[in-house]
A = this chain, B = another copy of it.
């Protein structure tokens, strides 16, 4: 299959759904709805929604059957980026080559924009009428999921590199949400428990691989390619996989995890070609 055009088509569908899933800028308060759209409609790669759609597709669902959880997970992801960039958090001024939300709208509005995006995600999931989807996002996002990773990530700045700690951070800050994206697609697809479990393993493995690849790119790429300052992890004294294990071991780990992710798909009797192709793309991407 042609993964490039597959991803391009998926991205276009997700983009349209995100456009429609966000309140119009004319709705009061206009500044809030403008900021919400600014924070989301920024040319993101949409990895999480595409994985959600592709997981549902495994079970023969139409390409947009899982669009509601797909955009919900992306809205939640964008909310974490808005909060992460705040002056009291990572204090980042640039994202995807544009001023971050708090630079453009002020810190107070950025806090509220992040909150509003988070709630919008849950609203969209509630509208599906499937409480299991709400539960998936809440468990992945909450104090024992993404937020646990963020808290430990902030606390780890400047600390001695530790293999245990970096695994906890990557698993929680990134992998659980990517895993939840796949799981939500599997729920919509009607996966049986064994299939759900295998897809869950796949999601976790590629989630970890994705974050390690991100760490590697931050160290080896350029500002222009990344759309944000390269080397910012080093500058902020962030704990990264390469900082703990070295670049070569990081690259080897990405390959190993991707292999394990693909093996997890082998027991499924369905067409998992798109998921395999996405996994391959995630390892070979340059930004």
User: Which residues of A come within 8 Å of B, CB atoms?
Assistant: 23, 27-29, 31-33, 36, 79-80, 83, 86-89, 106-109, 111-112, 114-116, 118-120, 122-123, 125-132, 134-135, 137-139, 141-144, 147-148, 150-152, 154-155, 168
Nearest first, the 6 closest Cβ-Cβ pairs linking A and B are A123-B138, A88-B107, A126-B134, A116-B143, A126-B135, A119-B142
A32 / chain B contacts, CB cutoff of 8 Å = 143, 147-148, 151
Besides A88-B107, A115-B115, A129-B131, 7 more A-B contacts (Cβ < 8 Å) are A36-B143, A112-B147, A114-B115, A119-B142, A122-B122, A122-B137, A126-B131
Contact for A148 among B29, B86, B89, CB less than 8 A: B29
Q: By the criterion CB–CB under 8 Å, are A144 and B27 in contact?
A: yes
Closest beta carbon of chain B to A84's beta carbon, Å = 9
User: In the docked arrangement, what's the CA distance between A144 and B36, Å?
Assistant: 12
Q: By the criterion CB–CB under 8 Å, are B23 and A112 in contact?
A: no
Q: Binding site of A, secondary structure by majority: helix, strand, loop or mixed?
A: helix
A111 / chain B contacts, CB cutoff of 8 Å = 83, 86, 88-89, 111
User: In the docked arrangement, what's the CA distance between A29 and B145, Å?
Assistant: 10
Q: By the criterion CB–CB under 8 Å, are A127 and B135 in contact?
A: yes
Residue ID in chain B nearest A31 by CB atoms? B151
Contact for A151 among B29, B114, B134, CB less than 8 A: B29
Given A87-B88, A135-B127, A119–B116 Cβ distance below 8 Å? no
Residue ID in chain B nearest A124 by CB atoms? B138
A23 / chain B contacts, CB cutoff of 8 Å = 143-144
User: In the docked arrangement, what's the CA distance between A189 and B154, Å?
Assistant: 44
Contact for A134 among B80, B89, B134, B155, CB less than 8 A: B134
Closest beta carbon of chain B to A287's beta carbon, Å = 27
Q: Offer 28 A-B interface pairs, CB within 8 angstroms, sorted by A.
A: A28-B168, A29-B143, A29-B155, A32-B148, A79-B115, A80-B115, A83-B111, A83-B115, A88-B88, A89-B108, A89-B111, A108-B154, A109-B151, A109-B154, A111-B111, A112-B150, A112-B151, A118-B119, A119-B138, A119-B142, A119-B147, A122-B137, A126-B135, A126-B138, A128-B131, A129-B131, A131-B134, A134-B134
